[in-house]
């Protein structure tokens, strides 16, 4: 894990590794060491607008021209990159209703068309996400002998799977040791915000839901840079051999901006801010509004839902109850 002072170094290292893998993360190069208000390359016009708007928001906050961030906003800060990407402060999520952009993005990216769909996605991200299969995949790729690996390659695996295997076996950017919880729970916060924008959640529910995942993120990572490193590596693992260089570059810049710029959410909100333990009751009740089936097609009980949620939000080392 990394401390906050190591952010520029890891950013460069991961960038070069991703380029070696065909990720073309050109905009990462040397950016961290040059300061958070200077870009080393030019973005395309659309991504440049997003970057400049985020920088303008953070600068205005540092000058007292926009709403200040408080400790109560910390649970929304893991959604800061998506908030910047969509063009609003992470502590001021807009409400648009089911005809707005949030609802359209949920339908396009998550196949969510209503509250029940949204809660199903949130439950999956919270209790399993990609981290369960991806962690198993990484172990499989890393543990293969060279002979077994060559045999496996000759079976003709999917190109995305082959990309992931090479990334893990060469440990590109630390890919062998990525902790995928960040990839799942940062997206959880984003989907909560999209659900609130779409009117599928009220503000009390949104506050409660993001509050569930804030403590587990603090327990799992050493600081904001560590969180963003693992999130970006998780995102790269998911995207695999597809070219997403412009968005990847933009997200890496937004992470640097959020951490290093005065007024940036991860600069203002210290990683070790004391947080209240999340209360899962509201989430469990909401999820069970619609009858759910388990993987065997049997009705999913309240006890099973509670157990799955508590496995994520329970403090490390605490006993099961």
pLDDT digits (tens, 9 = 90+) for 247-291: 888 999 999 999 999 999 999 999 999 999 889 999 999 998 988
Instruction: State the greatest distance between any 2 C-alpha atoms of the chain, in Å, as a whole number.
Output: 61
Q: What are the residue ranges of helices labelled H in 71-145?
A: 80-86, 101-110, 115-127, 131-143
Terminal CA-to-CA distance of the chain, rounded, Å?
Answer: 30
**What range defines the domain where residue 109 resides?**
4-313
> Helices H, strands E: what count in the chain?
16, 0
Task: Compute how many other C-beta atoms are within 10 angstroms of the C-beta atom of residue 234.
Answer: 24
In a domain, 321, yes or no: no
* Euclidean distance between CA atoms 21 and 91, whole angstroms: 36
pLDDT of residue 320: 46
Rounded Cα distance, 237 and 8, in Å = 21
What is the rounded CA–CA span in Å between residue 174 and residue 237? 11
The CA-atom distances, in angstroms, between 169 and each of 99, 143, 162, 183 are 45, 9, 10, 20
Q: Among residues 82, 128, 133, 71, which one has the least CA distance to residue 105?
A: 82
> How many angstroms separate the CA atoms of 209 and 211, rounded?
5
User: How far apart are the C-alpha atoms of 225 and 4, rounded to whole Å?
Assistant: 6
Q: Does some domain include residue 319? A: no
**What average pLDDT values come out for the chain (321 residues) when binned by 10 residues?**
37 41 35 38 83 96 94 97 94 92 96 96 96 96 96 94 95 93 98 97 97 97 97 94 84 96 97 94 93 84 91 74 44
pLDDT score, position 318? 58
127 token code pair: 């209790």
Q: Exposed, middle or buried: residue 13 (CB in 10 Å: 0-12, 13-18, 19+)?
A: middle
The per-residue pLDDT for 41 is 53
Residues contacting 216, CB < 8 A, separation 6+:
181, 185, 312, 313
Tokens of 212: 């569930």
Sign (positive/negative) of CA torsion 28, 272, 126, 198? negative
Inter-CA distances, 231 with 6, 178, 293, 297, 320, Å:
16, 9, 30, 33, 28
Domain count, the chain: 1
């Amino acid at each position: 894990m990394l401390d906050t002072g190591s952010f520029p170094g890891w950013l460069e290292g991961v960038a070069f590794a991703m380029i070696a893998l065909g990720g073309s993360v050109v905009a990462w190069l040397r950016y961290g060491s040059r300061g958070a208000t200077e870009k080393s390359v030019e973005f395309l016009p659309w991504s440049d607008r997003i970057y400049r708007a985020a920088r303008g928001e953070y600068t205005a906050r540092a000058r007292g021209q926009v709403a200040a961030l408080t400790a109560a906003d910390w649970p929304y800060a893991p959604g800061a990159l998506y908030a910047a990407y969509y063009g609003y402060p992470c502590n001021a999520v807009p409400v648009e209703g089911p005809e707005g952009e949030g609802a359209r993005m949920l339908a396009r990216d998550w196949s969510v068309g209503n509250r029940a769909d949204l809660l199903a996605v949130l439950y999956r991200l919270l209790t399993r996400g990609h981290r369960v299969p991806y962690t198993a995949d990484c172990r499989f790729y890393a543990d293969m002998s060279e002979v077994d690996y060559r045999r496996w390659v000759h079976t003709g695996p999917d190109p995305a799977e082959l990309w992931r295997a090479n990334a893990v076996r060469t440990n590109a950017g630390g890919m062998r040791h990525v902790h995928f919880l960040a990839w799942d729970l940062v997206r959880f916060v984003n989907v909560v915000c999209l659900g609130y924008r779409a009117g599928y959640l009220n503000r009390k529910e949104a506050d409660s839901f993001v509050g569930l995942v804030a403590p587990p993120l603090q327990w799992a990572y050493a600081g904001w840079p560590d969180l963003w490193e693992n999130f970006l590596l998780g995102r790269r693992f998911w995207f695999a051999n597809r070219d997403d260089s412009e968005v990847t570059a933009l997200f890496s810049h937004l992470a640097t901006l959020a951490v290093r710029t005065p007024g940036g959410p991860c600069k203002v909100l210290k990683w070790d801010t004391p947080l209240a333990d999340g209360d899962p009751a509201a989430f469990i009740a909401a999820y069970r509004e619609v009858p759910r089936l388990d993987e065997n097609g049997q009705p999913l009980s309240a006890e099973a839902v509670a157990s799955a949620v508590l496995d994520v939000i329970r403090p490390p080392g605490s006993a099961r109850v």
